[in-house]
Amino acid sequence: MNISRGRAGSGIRYRLPLAGSPLVFHSSLLAPASVAALASLTSTQALAENETPVTLAPVTVTASNLYGNVGYTRDTTTAGTHFELSPKEIPQTISIVTEQRIRDQDLEDIDDVLSNTTGISASHIDSNRVSFYSRGFRINTYQYDGIPTLNTSSAWYFGEGALNTAIYDRVEVVRGANGLLTGAGNPGASVNFVRKHADSRKLTGSVSGAYGSWDQQRGVVDVTTPLTRSGNVRARFIGGYDSGDSWLDRYSDRRKFGYAVIDADVTADTTLSVGYDYQDTHASSPTWGGLPLWYSNGSKTDYTRGFSVAPDWSYYDFESRKVFTELEHQFGNGWALRGTATHAETDMDARLAYPSGFPDRNTGEGVYYYTGWNTGERTMDSVDTYANGPFELLGREHELVIGGSYSEQSNDYDNSYTAGFPVSDLDHWNGSTPEQDWPGFAPSESTSVRQKAVYGAARLSLAEPLTLIIGARYTDWQGRSWASASGNENQHQDDITPYGGLVYDLNDTWSAFVSYTEIFQPQDYRDAGGSFLKPVVGKNYETGLKAAWFDGLLNASFSVFRIEQDNVGVVAGQLPNNGRNYYAAANGVVSEGFDAELSGAVTDHLDLTAGFTHYTATDDDGSFNTDRPRTQANLFASYRIPRWQQLTVGGGINWQSHTFKDDVDGPSGTTRNFEQGSYTLVNVFGRYQFTSELSLQLNVHNLFDKKYYSYFDGYGVYGEPLNATTTLTYSF
Q: What is the pLDDT of residues 502-541, one digit of tens each?
A: 999 999 999 999 999 988 887 777 777 767 788 888 899 9
According to the 3-state scheme, what is the secondary structure of 93-119?
Answer: CEEEEEHHHHHHHCCCEHHHHHHCCCC
The verdict on 19 and 127 lying in the same domain is no
Domain assignment present for residue 161? The answer is yes
> Final residue of a domain: which of 63, 79, 100?
63
pLDDT band at residue 18 under the 50/70/90 scheme? very low
The verdict on 111 and 33 lying in the same domain is no
Domain assignment present for residue 131? The answer is yes
**Residue-level pLDDT at 17:** 31
Highest mean pLDDT out of 31-40, 406-415, 572-581, 717-726: 717-726
Domain assignment present for residue 6? The answer is no
Domain containing residue 559: CATH number: 2.40.170.20
Domain assignment present for residue 88? The answer is yes
120-124 β-sheet, strand order: 120-124, 130-134, 137-138
pLDDT-above-90 percentage for the chain = 68
Among 372-386, 532-546, 561-575, the least confident range: 561-575
The verdict on 304 and 171 lying in the same domain is yes
CA distance linking residue 91 with residue 81, whole number of Å: 10
For range 80-87, the mean pLDDT: 90
Among 73-77, 178-182, 265-269, the least confident range: 178-182
Residue 637 pLDDT exceeds 70: yes
Q: Which domain holds residue 162?
A: 69-440+452-486+498-731
The verdict on 40 and 94 lying in the same domain is no
- Could you read off the pLDDT of 685-694 as tens digits, one per residue? 999 999 999 9
For range 637-649, the mean pLDDT: 95
pLDDT band at residue 162 under the 50/70/90 scheme? confident
**Residue-level pLDDT at 486:** 63
pLDDT band at residue 493 under the 50/70/90 scheme? confident
- Mean pLDDT over the full length of the chain: 87
DSSP for 272-329 reads EEEEEEEEEEEEES--SS-B-SB-TTSPBP---TT-----TT-EEEEEEEEEEEEEEE
Contacts 24+ apart (CB under 8 A), 387-393: 387/335, 387/336, 387/337, 387/338, 388/82, 388/83, 388/335, 388/336, 388/338, 389/331, 389/333, 389/334, 389/335, 389/336, 390/333, 390/334, 390/335, 393/460
Domain assignment present for residue 333? The answer is yes
Q: Can you say whether the dihedral through the CA atoms of 63, 66, 72, 76 is positive or negative?
A: positive
Tell me the sheet residues that pair with 549: 554
Domain assignment present for residue 446? The answer is no
CA distance linking residue 273 with residue 416, whole number of Å: 42
* Closest of 207, 323, 201 to residue 259, by C-alpha: 323
pLDDT band at residue 696 under the 50/70/90 scheme? very high
pLDDT band at residue 10 under the 50/70/90 scheme? very low
> Final residue of a domain: which of 63, 84, 104?
63
How long a stretch of residues is the chain?
Answer: 732
Domain assignment present for residue 447? The answer is no
Count helices and strands (H / E) in the chain.
4, 43
Alpha helices in 334-454 (DSSP H): none
